[in-house]
């Protein structure tokens, strides 16, 4: 199992277990972490935006251009921002920490 830490905008920390290969969005949904994921992981929104805390960001594979384009739509964008649907957990990421942004923008709601 992989330990994952989520920190709310208010500083509340929630630690959960995940399986290798799980996406951060799937883990958050399974444990009732407040990450929307409006497009259900199809990378058509930015509602699963997370901020990867140091030193974990450098351990992740580089983001693709499509992810960067979606992140441009996110609130509270940081240098270490990523989409949770695009991060698949590995043993190397055991203990990873994510800060949840203050707000999200759902462009799928019309």
Domains of the chain, residue spans? 2-99
Q: Enter the pTM of the model.
A: 0.90
Alpha carbon distance 43, 38 (integer Å): 9
Alpha carbon distance 71, 85 (integer Å): 12
Q: For domain 2-99, which CATH number applies: 3.50.30.10, 3.30.465.10, 3.10.20.30, 1.10.10.10?
A: 3.10.20.30
For 2-50, how does the pLDDT look when each residue is reduced to its tens digit (9 = 90+)? 999 999 999 999 999 999 999 999 999 999 999 988 898 888 999 999 9
Structure tokens at 27: 């883990």
Bridge partners for 44 per DSSP: none
């Amino acid at each position: 199992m992989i330990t994952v830490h989520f920190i709310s905008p208010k500083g509340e920390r929630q630690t959960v277990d995940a399986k290798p290969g799980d996406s951060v969005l799937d883990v958050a949904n399974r444990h009732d972490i407040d990450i929307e994921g409006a497009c259900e992981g199809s990378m058509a929104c930015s509602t699963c935006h997370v901020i990867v805390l140091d030193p974990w960001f450098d351990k992740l594979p580089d983001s693709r251009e499509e992810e960067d384009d979606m992140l441009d739509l996110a609130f509270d964008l940081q240098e270490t921002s990523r989409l949770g649907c695009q991060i698949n957990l590995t043993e190397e990421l055991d203990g990873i920490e994510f800060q949840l942004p203050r707000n999200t923008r759902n462009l799928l709601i019309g």
